[in-house]
Structure 1
Protein backbone atom coordinates (compact mmCIF):
# COMPACT_ATOMS: atom_id res chain seq x y z
CA UNK A 1 0.00 0.00 0.00
CA UNK A 2 1.34 3.44 -0.92
CA UNK A 3 2.35 5.94 1.73
CA UNK A 4 -0.59 7.98 3.10
CA UNK A 5 -3.22 5.97 1.24
CA UNK A 6 -6.05 3.99 2.77
CA UNK A 7 -8.36 1.28 1.47
CA UNK A 8 -12.03 2.20 1.13
CA UNK A 9 -15.31 0.76 -0.08
CA UNK A 10 -18.25 2.80 -1.26
CA UNK A 11 -21.78 1.66 -2.00
CA UNK A 12 -23.83 3.78 -4.38
CA UNK A 13 -27.60 3.41 -4.71
CA UNK A 14 -28.90 5.06 -7.87
CA UNK A 15 -32.49 5.74 -8.82
CA UNK A 16 -34.39 3.08 -10.75
CA UNK A 17 -35.85 5.90 -12.85
CA UNK A 18 -32.45 6.26 -14.56
CA UNK A 19 -32.68 2.75 -15.93
CA UNK A 20 -29.81 0.31 -16.16
CA UNK A 21 -27.88 2.33 -18.77
CA UNK A 22 -28.28 5.63 -16.91
CA UNK A 23 -27.19 4.03 -13.67
CA UNK A 24 -24.15 2.46 -15.34
CA UNK A 25 -23.18 5.85 -16.83
CA UNK A 26 -23.45 7.52 -13.42
CA UNK A 27 -21.36 4.80 -11.76
CA UNK A 28 -18.78 5.09 -14.55
CA UNK A 29 -18.57 8.83 -13.89
CA UNK A 30 -17.80 8.24 -10.21
CA UNK A 31 -15.41 5.41 -11.03
CA UNK A 32 -13.43 7.81 -13.23
CA UNK A 33 -13.45 10.44 -10.45
CA UNK A 34 -12.09 7.90 -7.99
CA UNK A 35 -9.43 6.78 -10.51
CA UNK A 36 -8.25 10.41 -10.83
CA UNK A 37 -7.61 10.62 -7.06
CA UNK A 38 -6.58 7.04 -6.31
CA UNK A 39 -6.75 3.48 -7.56
CA UNK A 40 -9.97 1.58 -8.29
CA UNK A 41 -9.48 -2.02 -7.19
CA UNK A 42 -12.86 -3.59 -7.87
CA UNK A 43 -16.32 -2.63 -9.12
CA UNK A 44 -19.14 -4.99 -8.17
CA UNK A 45 -22.56 -4.32 -9.69
CA UNK A 46 -25.26 -5.78 -7.45
CA UNK A 47 -28.07 -4.85 -9.83
CA UNK A 48 -31.59 -3.68 -9.14
CA UNK A 49 -32.88 -4.36 -5.63
CA UNK A 50 -36.04 -3.59 -3.69
CA UNK A 51 -35.73 -1.22 -0.73
CA UNK A 52 -36.86 -2.16 2.76
CA UNK A 53 -38.82 1.11 2.85
CA UNK A 54 -39.62 3.80 0.26
CA UNK A 55 -36.89 6.38 -0.39
CA UNK A 56 -38.02 9.56 -2.14
CA UNK A 57 -41.26 7.73 -3.05
CA UNK A 58 -39.31 4.99 -4.86
CA UNK A 59 -39.18 1.32 -3.93
CA UNK A 60 -36.22 0.10 -6.04
CA UNK A 61 -32.71 1.19 -6.94
CA UNK A 62 -29.46 0.01 -8.52
CA UNK A 63 -26.67 -0.93 -6.10
CA UNK A 64 -22.93 -0.77 -6.90
CA UNK A 65 -19.93 -1.48 -4.65
CA UNK A 66 -16.58 0.12 -5.52
CA UNK A 67 -13.36 -0.83 -3.67
CA UNK A 68 -10.59 1.73 -3.98
CA UNK A 69 -7.40 3.13 -2.51
CA UNK A 70 -6.92 6.87 -1.98
CA UNK A 71 -5.82 9.55 0.42
CA UNK A 72 -8.09 10.28 3.37
CA UNK A 73 -8.87 13.84 2.19
CA UNK A 74 -10.55 12.55 -0.98
CA UNK A 75 -13.44 10.83 0.81
CA UNK A 76 -14.90 14.17 1.93
CA UNK A 77 -14.86 15.45 -1.66
CA UNK A 78 -16.39 12.20 -2.93
CA UNK A 79 -19.20 12.44 -0.36
CA UNK A 80 -19.83 16.08 -1.32
CA UNK A 81 -20.12 15.12 -4.99
CA UNK A 82 -22.50 12.28 -4.13
CA UNK A 83 -24.79 14.72 -2.32
CA UNK A 84 -25.04 17.20 -5.20
CA UNK A 85 -25.54 14.64 -7.98
CA UNK A 86 -29.06 13.95 -9.24
CA UNK A 87 -29.94 10.27 -9.42
CA UNK A 88 -27.92 9.26 -6.35
CA UNK A 89 -30.30 8.13 -3.62
CA UNK A 90 -28.00 6.76 -0.91
CA UNK A 91 -24.25 6.31 -0.45
CA UNK A 92 -21.87 4.88 2.10
CA UNK A 93 -18.08 5.21 2.28
CA UNK A 94 -16.25 2.86 4.66
CA UNK A 95 -12.55 2.60 5.47
CA UNK A 96 -11.43 -1.03 5.20
CA UNK A 97 -9.18 -2.47 7.88
CA UNK A 98 -6.05 -3.92 6.21
CA UNK A 99 -5.71 -6.53 8.97
CA UNK A 100 -8.89 -8.22 7.73
CA UNK A 101 -7.79 -8.36 4.10
CA UNK A 102 -5.55 -11.43 4.33
CA UNK A 103 -5.80 -13.49 1.18
CA UNK A 104 -7.58 -16.88 1.43
CA UNK A 105 -4.32 -18.62 0.53
CA UNK A 106 -2.59 -16.97 3.49
CA UNK A 107 -5.46 -18.02 5.76
CA UNK A 108 -5.21 -21.62 4.54
CA UNK A 109 -1.44 -21.56 5.10
CA UNK A 110 -1.92 -20.32 8.66
CA UNK A 111 -4.51 -23.07 9.23
CA UNK A 112 -2.07 -25.71 7.99
CA UNK A 113 0.63 -24.37 10.28
CA UNK A 114 -1.80 -24.66 13.19
CA UNK A 115 -2.59 -28.26 12.19
CA UNK A 116 -6.13 -27.58 10.99
CA UNK A 117 -7.25 -29.34 7.79
CA UNK A 118 -9.70 -26.81 6.33
CA UNK A 119 -10.59 -28.97 3.30
CA UNK A 120 -11.49 -31.97 5.48
CA UNK A 121 -13.71 -29.80 7.69
CA UNK A 122 -15.46 -28.36 4.62
CA UNK A 123 -15.97 -31.84 3.14
CA UNK A 124 -17.50 -33.08 6.41
CA UNK A 125 -19.86 -30.11 6.51
CA UNK A 126 -21.02 -30.81 2.96
CA UNK A 127 -21.62 -34.48 3.80
CA UNK A 128 -23.63 -33.58 6.90
CA UNK A 129 -25.88 -31.20 4.99
CA UNK A 130 -26.43 -33.82 2.27
CA UNK A 131 -27.79 -36.33 4.82
Structure 2
Protein backbone atom coordinates (compact mmCIF):
# COMPACT_ATOMS: atom_id res chain seq x y z
CA UNK A 1 0.00 0.00 0.00
CA UNK A 2 1.49 3.30 -1.04
CA UNK A 3 1.32 6.41 1.08
CA UNK A 4 -0.07 8.42 -1.82
CA UNK A 5 -3.02 6.03 -2.14
CA UNK A 6 -3.91 6.41 1.54
CA UNK A 7 -3.53 10.20 1.38
CA UNK A 8 -5.70 10.45 -1.75
CA UNK A 9 -8.37 8.15 -0.31
CA UNK A 10 -8.67 9.92 3.05
CA UNK A 11 -8.45 13.40 1.50
CA UNK A 12 -11.36 12.47 -0.76
CA UNK A 13 -13.33 11.10 2.19
CA UNK A 14 -12.57 14.25 4.21
CA UNK A 15 -13.79 16.49 1.40
CA UNK A 16 -16.90 14.38 0.82
CA UNK A 17 -17.76 14.31 4.53
CA UNK A 18 -17.26 18.09 4.77
CA UNK A 19 -19.64 18.70 1.88
CA UNK A 20 -22.30 16.28 3.13
CA UNK A 21 -22.20 17.71 6.65
CA UNK A 22 -22.34 21.23 5.18
CA UNK A 23 -25.53 20.33 3.34
CA UNK A 24 -27.08 18.86 6.51
CA UNK A 25 -26.24 21.70 8.92
CA UNK A 26 -27.47 25.31 9.24
CA UNK A 27 -26.01 27.86 6.79
CA UNK A 28 -24.10 29.58 9.61
CA UNK A 29 -21.80 26.55 9.81
CA UNK A 30 -19.84 26.65 6.56
CA UNK A 31 -17.71 24.03 4.85
CA UNK A 32 -14.46 25.63 6.06
CA UNK A 33 -15.45 25.36 9.71
CA UNK A 34 -16.61 21.79 9.19
CA UNK A 35 -13.43 20.85 7.32
CA UNK A 36 -11.25 22.22 10.11
CA UNK A 37 -13.29 20.39 12.74
CA UNK A 38 -13.09 16.96 11.10
CA UNK A 39 -9.53 17.22 9.71
CA UNK A 40 -7.77 15.89 12.85
CA UNK A 41 -10.07 12.86 12.99
CA UNK A 42 -9.44 12.19 9.31
CA UNK A 43 -5.67 12.49 9.75
CA UNK A 44 -5.62 10.11 12.72
CA UNK A 45 -7.83 7.65 10.85
CA UNK A 46 -5.53 7.78 7.82
CA UNK A 47 -2.47 7.19 10.00
CA UNK A 48 -4.07 4.21 11.72
CA UNK A 49 -5.17 2.78 8.38
CA UNK A 50 -1.67 3.18 6.96
CA UNK A 51 -0.17 1.50 10.04
CA UNK A 52 -2.58 -1.41 9.45
CA UNK A 53 -4.17 -1.35 12.87
CA UNK A 54 -6.55 -4.32 13.35
CA UNK A 55 -10.03 -3.74 11.97
CA UNK A 56 -11.91 -3.81 15.25
CA UNK A 57 -9.47 -1.39 16.88
CA UNK A 58 -9.67 0.89 13.84
CA UNK A 59 -13.47 0.83 13.94
CA UNK A 60 -13.56 1.70 17.64
CA UNK A 61 -11.11 4.59 17.22
CA UNK A 62 -12.92 5.84 14.10
CA UNK A 63 -16.31 5.78 15.84
CA UNK A 64 -14.88 7.66 18.82
CA UNK A 65 -13.21 10.26 16.60
CA UNK A 66 -16.44 10.70 14.66
CA UNK A 67 -18.35 11.42 17.87
CA UNK A 68 -15.67 13.85 19.09
CA UNK A 69 -15.82 15.64 15.72
CA UNK A 70 -19.58 16.04 16.12
CA UNK A 71 -19.04 17.49 19.59
CA UNK A 72 -16.56 20.00 18.15
CA UNK A 73 -19.07 20.93 15.45
CA UNK A 74 -21.69 21.48 18.13
CA UNK A 75 -19.29 23.75 20.03
CA UNK A 76 -18.32 25.92 17.05
CA UNK A 77 -21.80 26.13 15.55
CA UNK A 78 -23.53 29.48 16.15
CA UNK A 79 -26.92 27.72 16.19
CA UNK A 80 -27.71 24.39 17.85
CA UNK A 81 -27.53 21.46 15.47
CA UNK A 82 -30.51 19.26 14.81
CA UNK A 83 -31.14 16.17 16.94
CA UNK A 84 -30.48 14.16 13.77
CA UNK A 85 -26.80 15.15 14.00
CA UNK A 86 -26.66 13.63 17.50
CA UNK A 87 -28.06 10.39 16.14
CA UNK A 88 -25.52 10.44 13.29
CA UNK A 89 -22.70 11.00 15.81
CA UNK A 90 -23.73 8.13 18.08
CA UNK A 91 -24.67 5.66 15.33
CA UNK A 92 -21.11 4.47 14.53
CA UNK A 93 -20.42 3.74 18.21
CA UNK A 94 -23.66 1.78 18.52
CA UNK A 95 -22.91 -0.19 15.34
CA UNK A 96 -19.34 -1.00 16.39
CA UNK A 97 -20.47 -1.99 19.89
CA UNK A 98 -23.18 -4.23 18.44
CA UNK A 99 -20.71 -5.95 16.12
CA UNK A 100 -18.21 -6.53 18.93
CA UNK A 101 -20.91 -7.97 21.22
CA UNK A 102 -22.20 -10.17 18.40
CA UNK A 103 -18.70 -11.52 17.74
CA UNK A 104 -18.17 -12.25 21.45
CA UNK A 105 -21.53 -14.03 21.54
CA UNK A 106 -20.58 -16.16 18.52
CA UNK A 107 -17.22 -17.09 20.05
CA UNK A 108 -18.89 -18.11 23.30
CA UNK A 109 -21.47 -20.24 21.51
CA UNK A 110 -18.73 -21.98 19.49
CA UNK A 111 -16.80 -22.81 22.65
CA UNK A 112 -19.77 -24.39 24.41
CA UNK A 113 -20.11 -28.12 23.95
CA UNK A 114 -23.09 -29.01 21.79
CA UNK A 115 -23.80 -32.29 23.55
CA UNK A 116 -25.09 -32.52 27.04
CA UNK A 117 -22.93 -34.20 29.66
CA UNK A 118 -23.65 -37.89 30.18
CA UNK A 119 -26.25 -38.51 32.80
CA UNK A 120 -25.54 -40.99 35.50
CA UNK A 121 -28.25 -43.57 35.85
CA UNK A 122 -28.44 -45.51 39.08
Band the TM-score falls in, shorter-chain normalisation = 0.3 to 0.5
Larger RCO (CA under 8 A, 6+ residues apart): 1
Larger radius of gyration: 2
Higher relative helix content:
2
TM-score (norm 2): 0.34
